[in-house]
Chain A
Amino acid sequence: MFNTNSKRFSKKMLLAPIAAAAMAFFSTVHAEDTIKVGVLHSLSGTMAISETTLKDTMLMLIDEQNKKGGLLGKKLEAVVVDPASNWPLFAEKARELLTKDKVSAIFGCWTSVSRKSVLPVIEELNGILFYPVQYEGEESSKNVFYTGAAPNQQAIPAVDYLMNDLKVKRWVLAGTDYVYPRTTNKILEAYLKAKGVNKKDIMINYTPFGHSDWQSIVADIKKFGSAGKKTAVVSTINGDANVPFYKELGNQGVSAENIPVVAFSVGEEELSGIDTKPLVGHLAAWNYFMSVDTTKNAAFIKQWKDYIKNPKRVTNDPMEAHYIGFNMWVKAVEKAGTTDPDAVQKALIGVEYPNLTGGVAKMLPNHHISKPVLIGEIQDDGQFVTVWQTNKVVDGDAWSDFLPESKPIIADWTAPISCGNYNTKTKKCSGQNY
């Protein structure tokens, strides 16, 4: 896989100037009296599969806001750029959005590595980034607002569900080999051990990006799970590798009734592109399901289908995150009466906006939001049936309490602390070092 990565990298090196040229060609001359909103999602390359939808979601939300009369009496204008799934290009494009287009806020990124790439730029130029995807935590920037789930809003509740409701005793932590799965699994391992799970009852496995030959790993999981104790797989396997993984599980006769797999990266959008037969009954933990029956959600789904002009398109969790994030930003700008980044950053903390699944999301001082946690079983129509949910919203925790090194650290962007990395023991803020 090492080779494939380097190969992809070289491809992207070549792609970058082409894409940049194309973007320069397409970007139009903007009128002066608008508020610009940057949309930084890959429209080509590997991540296009997930991120294109978010770009469309943003355009829909901006469109809707304009129909309502815009913001502060001005029209909103979307500035869409394509970072082409190329991590360094994310930083370049973010710089372009902030310096050239002078956008008031950026909505974008998907992978953690793209966010980490944008981070120094957005901090240097004092911008605002809304990041809509569930991630590994251990970060809180003054300039980033995390509308996706932190580990305590997805991974930990999912493990609790497996442990308490399904009586799981043996654990397979399977993930793709990069920062999100590694950090999440580190947190989960510490959590499981704290709950008294024996080390030999935990199996950890990492695979390269896009791994497609799962035969031996599934055979191992099968063996691991056949020791007479209830076993479950906690999967942080990302993107394309999921389909062959579930197919292999199905073919080797591992059913969801014997060894359930709970995934953190498989949502409605991913399910719409695959044969769902082998996945039926497996689990996913999210903060939103399209199948949740509320009037708000029904209206959102209808709006999306009308906007995209395709009745078969689905909605998913990161879309809801953008929906909440965008509306919070609108409220904050109205509250501050200006789009000035410092004023908006201050105004954002404490802003509340209703979730699509019921309940109210609130922007917390650590720049994370409160969300409900839902666990669903996959059905053969690619939708989820909710089998468990928290009875109230859970506050996002930037620094995990289960890792010894991050336990004393908190993030609080209100006075007097005003720090994303504050050590409660030493009473020191270590600044923006992640």
Chain B
Amino acid sequence: MNIPANKPLSYGLAVLMLLFSMLAHSETDATQQPLQDALAAIKQGSMSEREQAINHLVELKHPRSLVILQALLAGKLLVVKDQDKLVIGDAIDQDYNIVDAVSNEKLGIISAEQVGKINLTNKLRSNLRKIIGELELNADDDAVRLAAVKAMDKEVDARLLDLFKQRLAVEQNADVKEAIENILLLQQMDSADKNERMAAITQLQSHDSLDVVNKLKAITEKDADGNYAEADSDIRNIADAALTEINGRLRLYSSIETVFFGLSLGAVLVLSAIGLAITFGVMGVINMAHGELMMIGAYTTYVIQQLMPNYLGLSIILSIPAAFLISALVGIAIERGIIRFLYGRPLETLLATFGVSLFLQQTVRSIFSPLNRSVATPEWMSGSWQINDFLSLTWNRFYILIFCLIVFVLLMQILKHTKLGLEVRAVAQNRRMAKAMGIPTAQVDAMTFGLGSGIAGVAGVALSQITNVGPNLGQSYIVDSFMVVVFGGVGNLLGTLVAGFSLGIANKFLEPFAGAVLAKILVLVFIILFIQKRPRGLFPQKGRAADS
């Protein structure tokens, strides 16, 4: 049984009619009744009835049609349960600020439990996008027009082509103009006139557009019998040349993309390893609970977001110091409570901290349940920076990369220019001498461990934006963290940075050839071999302390 029946695209005419009615300006004196009928079908009907109702709504040419359809697409069209009334609502916290869908009358604030959202399927969504695109092609806002053109550029038929041409004649904005011209050029590639086609190909070869590449490929490809799909060899040659040129640029873009992927993977590795670089590298403590300290940071983000659900962006920013503090406190507690009794006994430290990690995991399970928690991503961190059809950099990775560098620089400054940093380095180099100089080593140990743990918490905030926040979060990063620290050279923060980024990039360059599983194995094998050759890592610690 196939529920949404496939309806032919009869929108075209309907949209046109609505368009004219709007141009002619609609002092609508039509009664509200047909509108109410259409809305009732949207409200209750099955998906196919909903589809018909949408078409009906367009045909009605009601001045509220566009607003209602936009609200429907944006998921803002709600039905008030006990009144069975359609409203448009903006979410605020757990409530909605609603207005009547038809009269636009303000109805105040209503709680989320009292309203239900009108659901859509993919098919309805993409149809709606097209309908709204056509209606918005003549909108006043440049950005809206550009979006409208982009929404319709996939399936261009003769009628749409006319619409585009009409718009182009009056269009002032350069971006919208270019977008429409590109669509027209693409159409021109199928033109009957050979010269026009060749002109279009020549013009389009400087564009980084997916549609162009696909069109060119279709021209140059052979079919199953070995004959070219395109009969004209001139066209084929020129298309071939254009494709070669575009492919050259594509290779460049894909290398840039791979480097970016590598850097962002590296940033995650560095963030998760750098806290460990302090506790393991500087203090020599094998802290198996390091991953769980990251998990605590991630859960802190979750809790803060629960406390202030209306300020997503701010909650992430606030989570950074909060996660640092909480993880640092837990870290200090672990150090004071357990690790300080085990200095110099690495195996026992390993087992004890492993126990702590299990304890922390189960604690989180008891408090927050074993299910993953959902941490929302603020608007400015989602989506990507679309440079062209082939190159886009995702915002969340981009911010994490920058965040990682900031954390690293801050940490270096703390170690170089503060009293704590001086003491940490002194104790790391020669504990007994430092003690003799009057440095309270026990206190410094606690503070160092707290610093490392705090950084782990901060890493947890970053991780909450890219992966699951759940009790197992830490486990998936602990091995990678140790790997980075050992590869970079124990006790060397710069080594950790270099190691993290190089492993990230190496992984991403291997992945396309070897696949994700093999790439990881290859990297691991490489590190094992590398450590055989240089047991102290990339940047070995120098001096007497290192030899002891």
- Contacts A251-B396, A379-B119, A387-B121: A219 and B374 contacting too (C-beta < 8 A)? no
Can you report 28 residue pairs joining A to B where beta carbons are below 8 Å apart? A2-B517, A3-B524, A4-B480, A7-B478, A14-B354, A48-B365, A49-B371, A165-B6, A208-B517, A215-B264, A217-B516, A219-B261, A227-B214, A240-B372, A240-B467, A247-B396, A248-B394, A251-B382, A251-B396, A253-B386, A253-B392, A260-B122, A275-B375, A275-B377, A385-B119, A387-B3, A387-B4, A389-B1
In the bound assembly, the distance between CA atoms of A44 and B512 in angstroms comes to: 35
In the bound assembly, the distance between CA atoms of A386 and B476 in angstroms comes to: 35
Minimum CB–CB distance from B312 to chain A (whole Å) comes to 10
Asked if A381 and B117 make an inter-chain contact with CB atoms under 8 angstroms apart, the answer reads yes
Q: Which chain A residues lie closer than 8 Å to B60 at the CB level?
A: none
In the bound assembly, the distance between CA atoms of A379 and B511 in angstroms comes to: 33
B369's nearest neighbour on chain A, judged by CB, is A52
Minimum CB–CB distance from A221 to chain B (whole Å) comes to 12
Dominant secondary structure at the A interface: mixed
Minimum CB–CB distance from A262 to chain B (whole Å) comes to 11
Q: Which chain B residues lie closer than 8 Å to A8 at the CB level?
A: 475
Q: Which of A178-237 contact B (CB under 8 A)?
A: 205-208, 210-213, 215-217, 219-220, 226-228
Interface centre among B6, B264, B377, B395 (most CB of A within 10 A): B377
Minimum CB–CB distance from B79 to chain A (whole Å) comes to 14
Minimum CB–CB distance from B90 to chain A (whole Å) comes to 15
Asked if A206 and B476 make an inter-chain contact with CB atoms under 8 angstroms apart, the answer reads no
In the bound assembly, the distance between CA atoms of A273 and B75 in angstroms comes to: 21
Asked if B371 and A247 make an inter-chain contact with CB atoms under 8 angstroms apart, the answer reads no
Q: Which of A272-302 contact B (CB under 8 A)?
A: 272-278, 281
Asked if B210 and A48 make an inter-chain contact with CB atoms under 8 angstroms apart, the answer reads no
User: Which B residues fall within an 8 A CB radius of A?
Assistant: 1-4, 6, 47, 75, 117, 119, 121-122, 125-126, 129, 210, 214, 217-218, 257-258, 261, 264-265, 268, 354, 358, 362, 365, 370-377, 382-384, 386, 392, 394-397, 466-468, 470-472, 475-476, 478-480, 483, 508, 511-512, 515-517, 520-521, 524
Minimum CB–CB distance from A204 to chain B (whole Å) comes to 10
Q: Which chain A residues lie closer than 8 Å to B362 at the CB level?
A: 44
Is A33 part of the binding interface, using a Cβ–Cβ cutoff of 8 Å?
Answer: no
Asked if B511 and A252 make an inter-chain contact with CB atoms under 8 angstroms apart, the answer reads no
Q: Which chain A residues lie closer than 8 Å to B377 at the CB level?
A: 247, 275, 277
In the bound assembly, the distance between CA atoms of A359 and B395 in angstroms comes to: 48
Asked if A216 and B258 make an inter-chain contact with CB atoms under 8 angstroms apart, the answer reads yes
User: Known pairs A215-B264, A243-B372, A252-B392. 14 more at Cβ < 8 A?
Assistant: A49-B370, A49-B470, A205-B516, A206-B516, A212-B466, A216-B508, A219-B257, A227-B214, A227-B217, A240-B468, A260-B122, A377-B121, A380-B75, A387-B3
Asked if A215 and B394 make an inter-chain contact with CB atoms under 8 angstroms apart, the answer reads yes
Q: Which chain A residues lie closer than 8 Å to B384 at the CB level?
A: 251-253
In the bound assembly, the distance between CA atoms of A190 and B386 in angstroms comes to: 37
Q: Which chain A residues lie closer than 8 Å to B218 at the CB level?
A: 228
In the bound assembly, the distance between CA atoms of A216 and B377 in angstroms comes to: 21
In the bound assembly, the distance between CA atoms of A277 and B74 in angstroms comes to: 12
Minimum CB–CB distance from B215 to chain A (whole Å) comes to 8
Q: Which chain A residues lie closer than 8 Å to B371 at the CB level?
A: 49, 269, 272-273
Is A11 part of the binding interface, using a Cβ–Cβ cutoff of 8 Å?
Answer: yes
In the bound assembly, the distance between CA atoms of A216 and B506 in angstroms comes to: 13
Q: Which chain B residues lie closer than 8 Å to A206 at the CB level?
A: 515-517
In the bound assembly, the distance between CA atoms of A58 and B372 in angstroms comes to: 22
Asked if A273 and B122 make an inter-chain contact with CB atoms under 8 angstroms apart, the answer reads no
Nearest 8 A/B pairs, CB to CB: A273-B372, A228-B214, A251-B394, A48-B370, A215-B261, A391-B1, A212-B467, A273-B371
Is A66 part of the binding interface, using a Cβ–Cβ cutoff of 8 Å?
Answer: no
In the bound assembly, the distance between CA atoms of A220 and B511 in angstroms comes to: 11
Minimum CB–CB distance from A298 to chain B (whole Å) comes to 16
Asked if B2 and A216 make an inter-chain contact with CB atoms under 8 angstroms apart, the answer reads no
Asked if A213 and B268 make an inter-chain contact with CB atoms under 8 angstroms apart, the answer reads yes
Q: Which chain A residues lie closer than 8 Å to B129 at the CB level?
A: 257
Q: Which chain A residues lie closer than 8 Å to B258 at the CB level?
A: 216
Is A88 part of the binding interface, using a Cβ–Cβ cutoff of 8 Å?
Answer: no
Asked if B372 and A49 make an inter-chain contact with CB atoms under 8 angstroms apart, the answer reads yes
B215's nearest neighbour on chain A, judged by CB, is A228
Q: Which chain A residues lie closer than 8 Å to B214 at the CB level?
A: 226-228
In the bound assembly, the distance between CA atoms of A49 and B75 in angstroms comes to: 30
Is A244 part of the binding interface, using a Cβ–Cβ cutoff of 8 Å?
Answer: yes
Minimum CB–CB distance from A363 to chain B (whole Å) comes to 25
Asked if A257 and B126 make an inter-chain contact with CB atoms under 8 angstroms apart, the answer reads yes
Q: Which chain B residues lie closer than 8 Å to A220 at the CB level?
A: 512
Minimum CB–CB distance from A198 to chain B (whole Å) comes to 10
In the bound assembly, the distance between CA atoms of A211 and B517 in angstroms comes to: 9
Minimum CB–CB distance from B412 to chain A (whole Å) comes to 26
In the bound assembly, the distance between CA atoms of A362 and B257 in angstroms comes to: 53
Is A97 part of the binding interface, using a Cβ–Cβ cutoff of 8 Å?
Answer: no
Contact of A274 among B6, B125, B386, B468 (CB under 8 A): B468
A10's nearest neighbour on chain B, judged by CB, is B354
In the bound assembly, the distance between CA atoms of A220 and B519 in angstroms comes to: 16
Is A125 part of the binding interface, using a Cβ–Cβ cutoff of 8 Å?
Answer: no
Asked if A211 and B516 make an inter-chain contact with CB atoms under 8 angstroms apart, the answer reads yes
A47's nearest neighbour on chain B, judged by CB, is B370
In the bound assembly, the distance between CA atoms of A250 and B217 in angstroms comes to: 28
B463's nearest neighbour on chain A, judged by CB, is A212
Q: Which chain A residues lie closer than 8 Å to B265 at the CB level?
A: 213, 215
Minimum CB–CB distance from A82 to chain B (whole Å) comes to 12
Minimum CB–CB distance from A163 to chain B (whole Å) comes to 13
Type the 1/0 row for A11-22, where 1 means its CB is closer than 8 Å to any CB of B.
100110000000
- Contacts A257-B125, A273-B374, A381-B117: A165 and B479 contacting too (C-beta < 8 A)? no
- Contacts A207-B516, A389-B3: A274 and B397 contacting too (C-beta < 8 A)? no
Q: Which chain A residues lie closer than 8 Å to B520 at the CB level?
A: 1-3, 208
Is A388 part of the binding interface, using a Cβ–Cβ cutoff of 8 Å?
Answer: yes
Q: Which chain A residues lie closer than 8 Å to B517 at the CB level?
A: 1-2, 177, 206-208
Asked if B3 and A243 make an inter-chain contact with CB atoms under 8 angstroms apart, the answer reads no
Contact of B370 among A2, A52, A207 (CB under 8 A): A52
In the bound assembly, the distance between CA atoms of A266 and B6 in angstroms comes to: 27
Is A118 part of the binding interface, using a Cβ–Cβ cutoff of 8 Å?
Answer: no
In the bound assembly, the distance between CA atoms of A277 and B377 in angstroms comes to: 9
Minimum CB–CB distance from A46 to chain B (whole Å) comes to 6
- Contacts A215-B508, A228-B218, A391-B1: A4 and B383 contacting too (C-beta < 8 A)? no
In the bound assembly, the distance between CA atoms of A210 and B471 in angstroms comes to: 13
Q: Which of A125-173 contact B (CB under 8 A)?
A: 165
B116's nearest neighbour on chain A, judged by CB, is A381
- Contacts A44-B365, A207-B517: A216 and B1 contacting too (C-beta < 8 A)? no
Is A256 part of the binding interface, using a Cβ–Cβ cutoff of 8 Å?
Answer: yes
Q: Which chain B residues lie closer than 8 Å to A276 at the CB level?
A: 374
Q: Which chain B residues lie closer than 8 Å to A44 at the CB level?
A: 362, 365, 370
Contact of B122 among A48, A211, A281 (CB under 8 A): A281
In the bound assembly, the distance between CA atoms of A110 and B371 in angstroms comes to: 16
Q: Which chain A residues lie closer than 8 Å to B479 at the CB level?
A: 3-4, 7
Q: Which chain A residues lie closer than 8 Å to B511 at the CB level?
A: 216-217
Is A424 part of the binding interface, using a Cβ–Cβ cutoff of 8 Å?
Answer: no
In the bound assembly, the distance between CA atoms of A380 and B376 in angstroms comes to: 13
Contact of A2 among B4, B354, B524 (CB under 8 A): B524
Contact of B476 among A205, A207, A212, A275 (CB under 8 A): A212
Q: Which chain B residues lie closer than 8 Å to A217 at the CB level?
A: 511, 516
Interface centre among A49, A205, A213, A227 (most CB of B within 10 A): A213
